[in-house]
Structure 1
Amino acid sequence: MNKYLKYGIIIAIVIVAISFLASLQFEKSQDNSGSLPKIKSQAANFTLKNYKGESVSLQDFRGKIIYIKFWASWCKDCVKQVVPQRKLEAAMVSNPNIAFLNISVDSSEDAWKKAVERNKLSAEQLISHDGDEENINKNYDISEIPRYIIIGKSGEILNNNAPHPGEIEAEYFAQFN
């Protein structure tokens, strides 16, 4: 076999091996599952400002199943979930054991308020800014949005990466009662 052909084959094998190892390392670095809040662990309490300027705490909803949406006004995927979430909220309106919290991670309170008005958002609208977002991001590992979390009646995390409203029906919540 030609000497150059041997070197070419060896170089090709080395390149393929390096590419394979690099892709494994990339996949490992993209895996956030190790840092997600653990299922059944107590959800970290927070107190945030709502649309009316009032302080609202996670503790205020003890005794209810809480479906939390983390979103922002500039997030197209978040806005796509507005209609499905409205339908889900409407289907659950008669259930006093379910609470919907929408936590915006907008840096601008004006942008957040305009988005709430423009999209006619209901349920509890909260904003995480002015330092709050650091604790929210750390405690709930909010690395991308939209993100949904379900918290149980006793404050335990039941699902740390819950389905989007368009992916579930009202009956989905029966499993958490």
Structure 2
Amino acid sequence: MNTQDTPISTSKPPLCAPSGTQTCAAEKDTEPSIVAVEEDAESLLLGWDAVEGAVFYELQMLKQAVKSIGGEEDSQAEDWNAARAMEEPGLTDHGDAVGEWCTLSASLKSNMVRKRNLSHSTPYRFRVRVRDKVDWLPFQTSSLLHTLSTFVQRMAAPRGEVGGAAGCVTLSWEPVEEAAAYAVHMREQGAVRWKEVGRVGGTSVKKKNLEAGKAYHFRVRPVGERVEDVWVWSPWSEAMSPPSLPPVLRRMFGSRLAVEVGKEGKKEIGVESLAGSVVGVYASAHWCAPCRQFTPQLANFYRGLQGAGKAFEIVFVSLDQEKEAFELYFESMPWLAIPWEGGEGEREALMRMYQITSVPRLLIFGRDGELLENNAVGSQFLREEAFHSWWEGRPFRAGGGGCCGGGGCK
């Protein structure tokens, strides 16, 4: 079922029951069981937490429970009951509100569904219960939800860009005049409850620490004294998944990478930090003079890309024979390394797989893990055009340049 576009289906004509029947009293003080994942003037996208082992869900709406917000009432008694129903949600579950519970569907398999053909600016009350393999469970606490006014304004959905860092998504949107700031929400795809990301003063934000392999939706709303009652939440963004590390790189590096070796000792980070980046694998050694000549050139290239916000990372693979030589050489490098201790197997396997018999050697892998350059040592590769080519998944082709003065070490 397409929960965003498909109206609620009914397996049989709506059944009506007196309000207050089959309500789970134990859940009266919990958060609303049904939330509005999205609302507009004529429909509500309803969602509730999925229940493990559920066979079906039954969704009910309280028919004629309350009247249109701001509308005139024919009876003061009805108006009073409507106000009580809005202020005290529990009343509708005890028969004190106007109307009857009507079953919209008793055979829902999804925990997210859109109810259409509603009136604008109107509150509606819904409740849901679950059928497991044995029987129907009691109804959960009902929820009072509102359709929007026809006069509100809505921003376009935020745009997103994935990549650039592991677990990171960058969002942007068009500015709204007189907005003091923007509130940002997110939810995991398939979830029904929005979570607050925060408020930002500009028109973009970078959300970090997202879980690779999962997809997320985002929405945004302008806030401020001049826009608070006019603007509502934007439609949500397309699903965005933070980059994950290609399997070939995960096998190549193991689980951890060294960040630095200094007075405070060895520091390490997870290999997933490489996800979404163009990755260079730099085989080198302190005892190799051409290596020591090329390394500062490569470091300048690396720092330039990092300073420009480019997703480019290098992992040092040492061919030194002693730990002290590795640490001394690595201290001059601004990038990562396969750790000396515990990384022997990864270093040896990598050298065999790519037939590394001389250094310096710089392998370039695209964001998808494809080997783009078998050896990018040389000044012709140390330019931004080369990175752009790698970012697009293509080898860089340019004439000229040489290998750090010529020669290598075997």
TM range (shorter): 0.5 to 0.7
Instruction: Quote the Cα distance in structure 2 between the aligned partners of 1:96 and 1:175.
Output: 13
Distance 1:89 1:61 in 2: 14
Question: What is the CA distance between 1:97 and its match in structure 2?
Answer: 1.6
Shift of 1:165: 5.1
2:296, 2:345 → 1: CA distance?
30
Cα deviation 1:73-130 (Å, max 9, x = unaligned)? 111111001221122012201234211222212221111112233xx22111334653
Structure 1 residues 64 and 137: alpha-carbon distance in aligned structure 2, compared to 1, 3 A threshold: same
Task: State the shift of 1:137 in Å.
Answer: 1.1
Partner of 2:313: 99
Whether the aligned pair in 1 keeps the contact of 2:252 and 2:350 (CA below 8 Å) is no
Structure 2 CA distance for aligned equivalents of residues 84 and 76 of structure 1: 14
- Partners in 2 of 1:45 and 1:116 — Cα distance? 19
Q: CA deviation at 1:56?
A: 5.0
Q: State how 1:121-140 maps to structure 2 within 5 Å.
A: 121-127=333-339, 130-140=344-354
Partner residue of 1:72? 285
In 2, distance between residues paired with 1:97 and 1:49?
17
Q: Structure 1 residues 159 and 166, CA, compared in 2 at 3 Å: closer, same or farther?
A: closer
AA aligned to 2:323 is E
Give the whole-Å Cα distance in 1 for the aligned partners of 2:316 and 2:349: 16
CA distance in 2, matches of 1:67, 1:92: 13
Q: Could you list the runs of 5+ residues in structure 2 that have no partner in the other structure?
A: 1-247, 392-410
Q: Which has the higher strand share?
A: 2
1:44-83 matches, cutoff 5 A: 45-47=252-254, 49-50=257-258, 51=261, 52-54=266-268, 57=271, 59-83=272-296
C-alpha distance 153-49 of structure 1, shift in aligned 2 (>3 A): closer
1:134 positional shift:
2.2
C-alpha separation in 2, matches of 1:107 and 1:132: 15
In the alignment, which of 278, 283, 297 is matched to residue 84 of structure 1?
Answer: 297
Relative contact order, higher structure (CA 8 A, sep 6+): 1
Give the counterpart letter for 1:45 in structure 2: M
Task: Tell me if the contact between 1:81 and 1:166 (Cα under 8 Å) persists in the aligned partners.
Answer: no
| Bigger mean CA offset, 74-83 vs 101-110 | 101-110
Asked if 2 retains the 8 angstrom alpha-carbon contact of 1:92 and 1:98, the reply is yes
Distance in 1 between residues matched to 2:379 and 2:282, nearest whole Å: 9
Q: Does 1:108 align with 2:315?
A: no
2:376 corresponding residue in structure 1: 162
Aligned-pair RMSD on alpha carbons?
Answer: 2.5
> What is the TM-score with the length of structure 2 in the denominator?
0.30
- Residues 165, 69 of structure 1: CA spacing in aligned structure 2 closer, same or farther, 3 A cutoff? farther
Which ranges of structure 1 fall in alignment gaps of 5 or more residues?
A: 1-41
Whether the aligned pair in 2 keeps the contact of 1:148 and 1:163 (CA below 8 Å) is yes
Identity %: 21
Which consecutive segments of 4 or more residues in structure 1 shift more than 6 A?
A: none
Tell me if 1:152 matches 2:366.
yes
